[in-house]
Structures are given as C-alpha cells and as structure tokens.
C-alpha cells in the first residue's frame, strides 16, 4: 500500500504466518477480556467509556498529526457538514455499543 501507514514488502508465505500469529494473539487477548472486566468491576461503565473515548481521541489525533496523507482527509471531512453528521452518528452508535458491551 503506497503512501499509507503500513507498507508490506514481505513474501506471501511470511505474511500468512504473520496473519495467523496476529489472529491467535487477538483470540487470546479477547479470551482474557473477561478477567480484565472482573478486575475493574468497581468502575462504572460510563467512566470506562469516557476514558476509552478520550484516549481514542488522543491516539487518533496523534496518528493524524504524524500522517500528512490522513491529515488532508480529515481536513476535507471537516469541511463537509454531511460527513460530520455521519461521523457524529457513528461515534454515538459506537459509544452506545461500548456501554452495552461493558
């Protein structure tokens, strides 16, 4: 992917092996999530979602600042009201999803 955040030059077999490894890590980490929720049982769901939203915003802002390609896409999206409305709707739906999940 030219000009993107990641550029892949590895042979197909190496990428397949990496993909399987990444998949296994994802499955194991998702399997451990219930233990994490048990550890933070005394923290309210809205507080967890608030932290997730704030830290997500910080992380995305950091990535956008570091990536000139993404920065122009964000600037273009901010200039279009319809794009902003859909982004706001998506954000609310993701927030509701997180609250239900947590």
Annotated domain spans of the chain? 10-42, 43-102
Task: Give yes or no for a contact between 1 and 7, defined as CB atoms under 8 angstroms apart.
Answer: yes
User: pLDDT tens digits, residue range 32-47?
Assistant: 888 888 888 898 888 8
Question: 79-98: per-residue pLDDT in tens?
Answer: 888 888 888 899 889 888 88
Q: 41: which DSSP letter?
A: T
How far apart (Å, rounded) are the C-alpha atoms in residues 60 and 73? Answer: 13
List pLDDT tens digits, range 53-71: 899 889 988 887 787 666 6
pLDDT band at 11 (very low <50, low <70, confident <90, very high): low
- The pTM of the full predicted model, rounded to 2 decimals, is 0.54
Helices 81-101 + 45-66 axis angle, to 10: 140
Let me know the angle formed at the C-alpha of 33 by 60 and 44, rounded to the nearest 5 degrees. Answer: 75
Contact 99, 45 (CB under 8 A): yes
């Amino acid at each position: 992917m030219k000009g993107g955040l990641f550029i892949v030059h590895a042979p197909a077999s190496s990428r397949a092996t990496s993909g399987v490894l990444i998949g296994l890590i994802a499955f194991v980490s998702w399997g451990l999530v219930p233990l994490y929720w048990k550890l933070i049982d005394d923290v309210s769901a809205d507080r967890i979602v608030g932290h997730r939203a704030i830290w997500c915003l910080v992380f995305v802002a950091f990535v956008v600042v570091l990536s000139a390609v993404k920065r122009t896409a964000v600037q273009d999206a901010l200039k279009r009201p319809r794009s902003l409305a859909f982004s706001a709707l998506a954000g609310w739906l993701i927030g509701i999803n997180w609250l239900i999940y947590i």
